[in-house]
Amino acid sequence: MKEAPGITGLILNEPLLWEKGKKGRRGFSLPRRDVDFCPLDENLTSKTLDFPDLSEVDVIRHYTRLSQWNFGVDTGMYPLGSCTMKYNPKINEKQARLQGFAGAHPLLPHTLSQGALKLMFELERLLAEITGMDAVSLQPAAGAQGELTGMLLIHAFHKSKGIRRSKIIIPDTAHGTNPSSAALCGYRPVHVKSNEQGVLSVEAIAEVMNEDTAGIMVTNPNTLGLFEKNLKEIAEIVHSKGGLVYGDGANMNAIMGMVQMGQIGADIMHLNLHKTFSTPHGGGGPGSGPVCVKKHLEPFLPVPRVAQESDRYVLSEDFPESIGRLHAFFGNFGVMVKAYSYIQSMGPDNLKKASQLAVLNANYIQEMLKGTLHLAYDRPCMHECVFSDKLQQPHKVMTLDMAKRLMDYGFHPPTVYFPLIVNGAIMIEPTETESKEDLDLFIEACKAISNEAQQTPQLLLEAPQKCKVRRMDETAAARRPCLAG
Ligand SMILES: *Cc1c(COP(=O)(O)O)cnc(C)c1O
């Protein structure tokens, strides 16, 4: 007998539609044909097409069941550090779906796109204000593409001065995309170690910064969830040797309305609208990584740029020093609508409050769990905290086992084994949208798991037990992926 559905209560199994189909089933009834029969092209017979025959119920159940396998931030806590999986208010989705926005065609002349252009223009101004920068391009489609844009801007800046530089300084806490973006642009990443407090020291930068170094990429707060408190002095050193400072703003959720990176030395920074400004992410949907720059880099920004001419908005290509175009048309417009709607509906005070709550929530978890889990850097954190499995290792229980066991308690696991500088890292980012009650449940679950690690470690090694899919062979999944289902 085949495996019965319902292996975990009412979360049902679901075969492929091809396995489910039965010859002769129909999902709809066509009206009687009133034209002559005309066979399909011979190469396109139903044999080669091989579509399953399905009833309406087959199809409805198939997709509804699959949708119930999803775990998302709308289902429960999703404390994935470094990713900012916060709740995205549905009103922003609704605005993006308005017919005038959703149906706008990028090839319409600007005279018929005034509303969309105005929104882009104003969003650029809002992001400039939030970051303390002077000009913005909304074109890049993701953080990583924003970084690449930033590297191209740095290159264009030096080139305009007739200077060639070959290196970029990158701290050991950086996201992997940082060195990749630098390398893609032809720069050699120079790695710098963080100090024992988990941040960059002025001395470490002074030692490596020289006239062959084009600049530095710094994430602030960094990927340990710590504020780079020496950044202002570091920026002065980099600037004094003719370099530029790139700020990776993926962690902006911690500092909205609190810190303007432009004021503490950044020349360029990207934001991830899909992390901080209300676009759901994680499933590979469209993103947006606007790049914000100081005045001296504005001439190099990608084209076309949205400009205001008396009472109308136009798209201008008239920037002879521009690095050119990075994306078809103007970027992912729907994401911009959501960010605009989010920022306007929150207002400056509430954006600031969101950051304060994100930091408060992370510090609450850090304080409540230290001792249960080993805290990598024992000092107040920003929006995320980083633990390790050091205290569980004597019981032969590792980070992965605890992460899997959390699923049995109904929580999406946190980010694991990142950042790389913490062995067996467990990186928790609760975000501002979790209530104290939910944080407490999560904390209780972590404590219960830590007890299990001492008393019944086998439970953890076999976790998850209550999920539809149990522990997977991750090596096989990576080496021999089964893409058919
Ligand atoms: C997510 C992230 C990135 C990359 O952003 P994408 O939009 O995923 O390309 C870069 N840096 C940091 C610190 C991040 O967290």
C-beta separation of 140 from 287 below 8 A: no
Q: What percent of the chain has pLDDT over 90?
A: 84
Residue 153, classed as helix, strand or coil, is helix
Is the CB–ligand 1 distance for residue 148 below 6 Å? no
Is 469's pLDDT higher than 90? no
User: Which residue ranges make up each domain of the chain?
Assistant: 91-345, 349-478
Q: Any idea what the Cα angle at residue 407 is, between residues 404 and 408, rounded to 5°?
A: 105
Residue 84 CA, closest ligand 1 atom number: 15
Is any atom of ligand 1 closer than 6 Å to the C-beta of 175? Answer: yes
Which of 4-13, 301-310, 358-367 shows the lowest mean pLDDT across its residues?
A: 4-13
For residue 427, the cross-strand partners are: 386, 415
Give, using CA atoms, the residue closest to atom 3 of ligand 1. Answer: 143
Say how many Å lie between the CA of residue 291 and the centre of ligand 1.
13
pLDDT of the residue at 44: 63
Hey, is 174 helix, strand or coil?
Answer: coil
Q: Residue of the nearest CA to atom 6 in ligand 1?
A: 143
Residue of 86, 246, 251, 275 to test ligand 1 pocket, by largest number of atoms within 8 Å of CB: 275
Q: Which of 96, 179, 183, 76 is nearest to 409 (CA)?
A: 76
Q: What separation in Å is there between the alpha carbon of 82 and the centre of ligand 1?
A: 8
Question: Which protein residue's CA is at the shortest distance from atom 11 of ligand 1?
Answer: 175
Residue 255: predicted pLDDT: 97
What is the CATH code for 91-345? Answer: 3.40.640.10
* Cα(219) to centroid(ligand 1), Å: 10
pLDDT greater than 60 at residue 137:
yes
The more confident residue out of 471 and 247 is: 247
Contacts for 461 with CB less than 8 Å, ≥ 6 apart: 396, 397, 401
Cβ–ligand 1 contact at 248 (below 6 Å): yes
The answer to whether the beta carbons of residues 345 and 192 sit under 8 Å apart is no
Identify which has the larger pLDDT, 467 or 177. Answer: 177
List pLDDT tens digits, range 11-62.
Answer: 788 899 999 999 999 998 889 989 988 877 766 665 567 889 999 999 999 9
Q: In a mutational test of the pocket of ligand 1, which residue from 138, 248, 327 has the highest number of ligand atoms less than 8 Å from its CB? A: 248
What is the 3-class SS of 4-24, one letter each residue? CCCCECCECCCCCHHHHCCCC
> Both tokens of residue 360?
């408060």
Q: Which atom of ligand 1 is found nearest the CA of 177? A: 10
Cα–Cα distance between 172 and 175 in angstroms, integer? 9
Which atom of ligand 1 lies closest to the CA of 174? 13
Mean pLDDT value across the chain:
93
272 Cβ below 6 A of ligand 1: yes
Ligand 1 center–CA 286 separation, angstroms: 14
Phi, psi of 226 (to 5 degrees): -110, 145
Task: Looking at the CA of residue 287, tell me the nearest atom of ligand 1.
Answer: 7
**Would you say residue 2 has pLDDT above 60?**
no
Tens digit of each residue's pLDDT (9 = 90 or more) over 108-117: 999 999 999 9
In this prediction, residue 1 carries a pLDDT of: 41
Atom number, ligand 1, closest to the C-alpha of residue 82 = 15
Q: Whose CA is nearest to atom 8 of ligand 1?
A: 143
Q: Is residue 3 scored above 60 in pLDDT?
A: no
| Cβ-based neighbours of 156, under 8 Å, separated by 6 or more | 300, 321, 323
Other C-beta atoms lying within 10 Å of the C-beta of residue 278: 27
Report the separation in Å between the CA atom of 144 and the middle of ligand 1, taken as the mean of its atom positions. 6
For residue 465, give the DSSP letter: S
pLDDT value at position 38? 82
Q: 450: Cβ below 6 Å to ligand 1?
A: no
Task: Check residue 11 and give its pLDDT.
Answer: 77
In this predicted structure, what is the pLDDT of residue 43?
66
Mean pLDDT over 56-80 rounds to 92
Distance 358 CA to ligand 1 centre (A): 18
* Segment 120-147 mean pLDDT: 98
Q: Which of 10, 85, 67, 68 is nearest to 413 (CA)?
A: 85
In this prediction, residues 53-76 reach a mean pLDDT of 92
What atom in ligand 1 is closest to the CA of residue 145?
9
Express as a percent the part of the chain with pLDDT over 70: 96
Q: Which SS3 state, helix, strand or coil, does residue 197 take?
A: coil
Contact 392, 453 (CB under 8 A): yes
Closest CA to 121 of 378, 308, 393: 308
Q: Which CATH class is domain 349-478?
A: alpha beta
**H/E element, 246:** strand 244-249
| Max Cα-Cα span within the chain | 83
Substitution site in 82, 147, 177 for ligand 1 pocket (most atoms within 8 Å of beta carbon): 177
Task: Say what the pLDDT of residue 319 is.
Answer: 96
Ligand 1 and 247: CB distance under 6 A: no
Which amino acid, residue 5? P
List, for residues 193-245, the tens digit of each pLDDT value. 999 999 999 999 999 999 999 999 999 999 999 999 999 999 999 999 999 99
Q: Which residue has the CA at smallest separation from atom 14 of ligand 1?
A: 250
Q: Give the per-residue pLDDT at 40.
A: 74
> Are 17 and 476 contacting, i.e. CB atoms less than 8 angstroms apart?
no
Atom 2 of ligand 1 has which residue's CA nearest to it?
250
Name the residue with the closest Cα to ligand 1, atom 4: 143
pLDDT given at position 68: 87
- What are residue 182's phi and psi, to 5 degrees? -65, -45
